Amino acid sequence: MKKQTFGFNLVNIQTEQFALFEENIGTKQSYDYSINTEIEIGSSTAEKGVQLIIGITLQQKNKPHIKIEVACSFIIEDATWDSFCEEREIVFPKAFMQHLAKISIGTVRGILHARTRNTVFSEFMLPLLNVNDIVSEDIRLSLDED
């Protein structure tokens, strides 16, 4: 089986939202927390780009204590973009989107680390996330006319 390669570049990172809720943190012994992960995906035909917005909430007992949302924008090389285009939609292969999701989640992890350094929140690490659960199929989007 021939390995498929995709040409792209990460061109912009924007922290859209960042909030800390110290009042919701329990004692150190109760650092059991859950993670809610959301992903939004959009594309731009004019720029031949795709943007992933990763939203993560770390919470204890349904009370958020960290909320972060980061947008990562990627420009896709012409040949790769063209290979994704179908009649009136673009189909981003699952493996490609999982790769971009890994990059984006790693970016969120780095921003979270930098923003919580030397605070009580630095104890809360964003664990490794299974992107297979986040992106489980090809992503189909209508080709915009921008």
- 96-121: pLDDT as tens digits: 999 999 999 999 999 999 999 999 89
Beta strands in 21-126 (DSSP E): 34-44, 49-60, 63-76, 89-92
Q: What total number of domains does the chain contain?
A: 1
User: For residue 109, is it within any domain?
Assistant: yes
- Give residue 32's domain range: 8-142
> Residue 48: left (phi > 0), alpha (psi -120 to 50), or beta?
left
Q: What is the CATH number of the domain that holds 128?
A: 3.10.420
Per-residue pLDDT reduced to its tens digit, 43-77: 999 999 999 999 999 988 889 999 999 999 999 99
Residue 3 lies in a domain: no
**Burial readout 105-127 (b: 16 or more C-beta within 10 A, e: otherwise):** bebbbebbeeebeeeebeebebe
**Residue 2, domain member (yes or no):** no
